[in-house]
Amino acid sequence: MARQNRLDTPGRRRNEWLPRMRMDQDTFGSFAESFARWMGTAHFLIWMTIIIVAWVLWNVFAPQALAPDPFPFLFLTLALSLQASYAAPLILLAQNRQEARDRVSLEHDREVAAQSRADMDFLAREIASLRMRMNDVATRDFIRSELRDLLDELGRDPEDPKVRTN
């Protein structure tokens, strides 16, 4: 049964004679990143310079019959234009992917920083409450001084070995 344009069906009908391309975005994106990374190296620039200089020298000094691209170097201009027209979108795609990774990393860093801040605030409150509780706790020195005061009131020397215990 052929599909028909119906008023109760949303969207447009797709032309079936056009091929539908399905491409894994991560695979193509990683290719674009590796290509952009390779184009940003000194090796690429050196080899491209060597090829262009060799091309120009060959076309200037070779006999007219052997020069594939006589002056004004139309084929070289076409090749460099094609290279630039493919390189620019691939570099932009690589930059967009890097920006997306940076955005995710920044969001993660913000979450970690917020959690760390909350942990530090909690620990600061706990330390403050422990300090407040420690003021209420009788220390060993405090208890000793109180016992000495009590013994003094009773008229006894705390260092006297004759002190009797009940």
HSE of 10, CA atoms in CB hemisphere, 13 A: 0
* Predicted local distance difference test score (pLDDT) of residue 21: 73
Query: What is the enclosing helix (H) or strand (E) of 97?
Result: helix 74-136
- CA–CA separation, 29 and 24 (whole Å): 8
H helices of 62-73, in order, are: none
Q: Express each pLDDT in 57-68 by its tens digit.
A: 888 888 888 877
Question: Exposed/middle/buried for 94, CB within 10 Å: 0-12, 13-18, 19+?
Answer: buried
What mean pLDDT do residues 96-108 have?
93
Task: Please give the structure tokens belonging to residue 32.
Answer: 């674009």
Greater pLDDT, 99 or 12:
99
* Predicted local distance difference test score (pLDDT) of residue 153: 84
Confidence band (pLDDT; 50, 70, 90) for 124? very high
Confidence band (pLDDT; 50, 70, 90) for 166? very low
What mean pLDDT do residues 38-58 have?
91
In this structure, are residues 76 and 69 in contact, taking their beta carbons and an 8 Å threshold? yes
Tokens 């409450």 correspond to what residue?
129
Tokens 């006894």 correspond to what residue?
156
